[in-house]
Amino acid sequence: MNSNGIISFRDEEPLPPEDFLSNRLRVLTVDDDHVFQRSTSFALTGIKILGRDIELIQAYSFSEAYDLLAQDNDIAIALIDVVMETEDAGLRLVKAIRESIGNSEVRLILVTGQPGTAPVHTVMQLLDINDYWTKSELTKERLQTILTTNTRSFSQVKEIAQAKESLESIVTASRTLYAAHDLKTLANQLMEEVSRIFNINNDGLVYAEFDTSFHPTNRPDLIIGTTSKFITFINQPLQHIKPEKIRYRIEKCLSQKKSYYEKSFICLYLPKTLAGSDYVCYMESSRQLSSTEKKLLQVFSMNICGCLNNVALISRLDRLAYEDEFLGLPNKNTLLKSLNQIIQSDCRDEYQLIIIDIDNFSSINTVMGINQGDALLRFIAHRLRHCTHEEILVARIKDDIFALLGSEKLISIDSVKQLFKRLNHYEDTVNTINFSSVTFPLFLPATSAQSILTQTSIALKSAKNKGINQHVIYQPEDDSNTVYRFQLLRALQQAIERKEIFIALQPQICLKTGAISGVEALARWTLSDGTRVSPAEFIPLAETTGLISQLGKQIIEQSCAAARDLSAIGYSTLKVGINLSILQFERDDVVSYLLSSIKKHAILPQQIEVEVTESLAMQNFSSIYEHFQTLRDLKIRIAIDDFGTGFSSLACLSQLPADRLKIDKSFIDRLTFDKRSHAVVKTIVELGERFNMQTIAEGVETLEQLNTLKTMQCHEVQGYFHSKPMTLKQLIKWLKKNHPIQHH
């Protein structure tokens, strides 16, 4: 109404072009009255509803209309006569459309020439219809109004249905994307899902602007995924993209930090703040997305960002877990993986493994200094990697021990000797570099990569005991440690029978409060002559011979008893960590034995934490998952030990019912001076936060390490900085001195 009191009406706004709406509005009239059908057809001839032509479809009976609607779900509006072949044919048709066919979207308008047959109030209450008119009321103008109102209603209903379907697809797609193990796979799956959900062309690429400290290639930008049309640009920088208009669109998307949806393309911006790096998904399109689809794509983008961030973190962790953090060479994990692949292949006889150890390297460190020793290691690693055939795997096992794995035609100990001769004038400071080695031909019987490394390590130690420059080919019958290991096994059997193996308890400290939160039970064995046998020596022996089951039960019993005694003096909230091997889990009674021991000593399940190493948990995921879930249901905590050294995958880690990640000591040792170790620890802490797991660092020995971990917001620490492992009696004395019970 204007100032003169005159009412004016705004023109109808045309509906936005939606994919589910065709250019024509499809209207069905159902009536056995041919005169009414002709008059309706005449009334609708030449008119448009919200800018769309009408496609009129006519049916003359219940069965004819039913068949049409059962086969065609694009009909927007149906005008249905109440009385046709029977007095209630129209009413039965409405019920059949909604219930039997299940079409809740078509707008149903009942019309009748006999108002008394089906009273409007009763029909509107009983049936799912949208309008009800007598035929005498359906003037041309009234008919246009009815169609306009119901067309708009139909559009909204279809839009809601499409949105619901798309949201369900987004949920399904997110599960698929979260299972991706690397960025390339995720990028390609991302394009497939966008194409499927939003019904656009599957031609596109995914571009990433990486932080140079994050990406292994140290490249600031990279095309990480493409469809076949753009396959030549994979792993290329943005500058290589052609045609240039695509590059311009991506650059615009990045510079303005927003997504673009045009008729010929979409440019989906995935921000660094959510995805870890800036990403752009560019896809060609033959149509303009609707406003609803754009909103759904924004929802999908949030899920994608989470997937990208998670996969990037786990990919980074996996990469660091397979790469030596100091020399940049493949590490022991990579060597084990490659060895296992070879020994399971038909061509294993063609390969051999050479292990080399620098003689007197500790003396070189002492004389020249650690910095010069490190520089020498880097130089040796560089020459081994660049002066051997590219098909040879060069890995660092640990310290100054290296491995070369490959075809015997490409590598031999003589070629390595020649290489080392050329190293003997390294910076004019070392006149002679001597090394000892063991060659293990892979035609020799071996069931696993770990057993090969164990055997070669024993042979290498034996060779080095004879002097410098010792080079041997492994012979099974030459295993000089067989007698020793047999004697050690007999002693271990007796020690277990006599219950001579005991636990030492090492405190775990909360970084935020400084309070003790728990202890880890560590197996200790001292021989009658006072010699201490390392757990790294007797635990694998117990596992190999099956003694681990009996030994494990003794450790469980002692740990539960310790929890009971600690609780008795007021430390009932301290958890006791028990290390269990996968072999113990594979025996059905380990969980029940643990529960019976908890009950026997009258402690709470919350006082116990079970620790399993990462590599064993991930390699035996399916078999261990059920046990873990049982323990968690009983409120027994689960910790993944030595995290960062194993073979985690995002899918497994996200599903594993665990409470804590224990960061391996090898990373903590170099935390404060090695950027890669620092990055590993930081990544593990971030993963813990992402998967709602606490993190605890093992082997903390210095204040600098402690402060660095505090800055990273690691939750707990364990190591000599606070205390070495102690007997229960020593621990109780230590607790009373350092963490006394506060009485109020």
3-state secondary structure 371-400: HHHHHHHHHHHHHHHHCCCCCCEEEEEECC
pTM score > 0.75 for this model?
no
- CB-based contacts of 30, cutoff 8 Å, min separation 6: 58, 59, 60, 61, 62, 64, 65, 78, 79, 80, 81, 84, 90, 93
Task: Specify the DSSP element, H or E, that contains 663.
Answer: strand 660-663
- CB-based contacts of 93, cutoff 8 Å, min separation 6: 30, 62, 65, 66, 80
User: What is the DSSP code (8-state) at residue 480?
Assistant: T
| pLDDT at residue 216, as a whole number | 41
Structure tokens at 439: 């060659």
Q: What angle do CA 526, 532, 535 make, to 5 degrees?
A: 95
Q: Is the peptide bond before 540 cis (omega within 30 degrees of 0)?
A: no
Which amino acid would we find at residue 128? D
Computed from CA positions of residues 312, 316, 321, 322, in that sequence, does the dihedral angle turn out positive or negative?
positive
Instruction: Return the exposure string of 255-283: e unless at least 16 CB atoms fall within 10 Å of the residue's CB, then b.
Output: eeeebbbeeebbbbbbebeebbbbbbbbb
Angle between helices 449-464 and 332-343 in degrees, nearest 10: 120
User: What is the DSSP code (8-state) at residue 713?
Assistant: T
Strand ranges (E), 113-149: 131-134
Structure tokens at 346: 């038909």
| pLDDT at residue 79, as a whole number | 92
CB atoms within 10 A of CB 430: 16
Query: DSSP string spanning 248-299?
Result: HHHHHHHHHT--EE-SSEEEEEE-HHHHSSEEEEEEE-SSPPPHHHHHHHHH
* Separation CA 564–CA 425 (nearest Å): 63
| pLDDT at residue 549, as a whole number | 87
Give the CATH H-level superfamily of domain 332-480: Reverse transcriptase/Diguanylate cyclase domain (3.30.70.270)
Structure tokens at 619: 């390699």
- Measuring CA to CA, how many Å separate 736 from each of 326, 519, 571? 42, 15, 10
- Look at residues 644, 665, 562 and name the one whose alpha carbon lies nearest to residue 609: 562
The number of CA neighbours under 13 Å toward the Cβ of 629 is: 8
Residues facing residue 697 across a β-bridge: 663, 717
- Measuring CA to CA, how many Å separate 257 from each of 260, 283, 295, 296, 333? 10, 17, 17, 18, 40
The separation between the first and the last C-alpha atoms of the chain, rounded to the nearest angstrom, is 77
Instruction: Return phi, psi of residue 234, to 5°.
Output: -60, 135
| pLDDT at residue 429, as a whole number | 44
Residue with the two structure tokens 């399904």: 172
CB atoms within 10 A of CB 15: 16
| pLDDT at residue 19, as a whole number | 40
- Look at residues 184, 456, 442 and name the one whose alpha carbon lies nearest to residue 338: 442
| pLDDT at residue 223, as a whole number | 86
* Separation CA 150–CA 443 (nearest Å): 79
Query: DSSP string spanning 167-195?
Result: HHHHHHHHHHHHT--SHHHHHHHHHHHHH
Strand ranges (E), 449-562: 471-473, 502-510, 516-526, 532-533
Structure tokens at 557: 């019993």
Instruction: Return the exposure string of 445-457: e unless at least 16 CB atoms fall within 10 Å of the residue's CB, then b.
Output: ebeebeebbebbb
Instruction: Return phi, psi of residue 254, to 5°.
Output: -70, -45
Residues facing residue 109 across a β-bridge: 79, 131
* Separation CA 724–CA 2 (nearest Å): 88
- CB-based contacts of 660, cutoff 8 Å, min separation 6: 609, 637, 638, 639, 640, 688, 693, 694, 695, 696, 715
Instruction: Return phi, psi of residue 261, to 5°.
Output: -125, 100
* Separation CA 173–CA 296 (nearest Å): 13
The segments of the chain whose pLDDT lies below 70 read 1-23, 115-122, 124, 156, 159-181, 211-220, 313-320, 422-432, 447, 477-483, 587-588, 614-623, 644-654, 743-744
Angle between helices 548-568 and 535-545 in degrees, nearest 10: 130
Which amino acid would we find at residue 383? R
Long-range contacts of 321-324 (CB under 8 A, 24+ apart): 321/644, 321/645, 321/646, 321/647, 321/648, 321/680, 324/395, 324/396
- Helical ranges in 387-435 per DSSP H: 413-421
Domain map of the chain by residue range? 24-158, 179-321, 332-480, 498-738
CATH topology of domain 498-738: TIM Barrel (3.20.20)
Structure tokens at 505: 């308890």
Domain 24-158 in this protein, CATH class: alpha beta
| pLDDT at residue 180, as a whole number | 58
- Look at residues 221, 224, 244 and name the one whose alpha carbon lies nearest to residue 233: 224
Domain 179-321 in this protein, CATH class: alpha beta
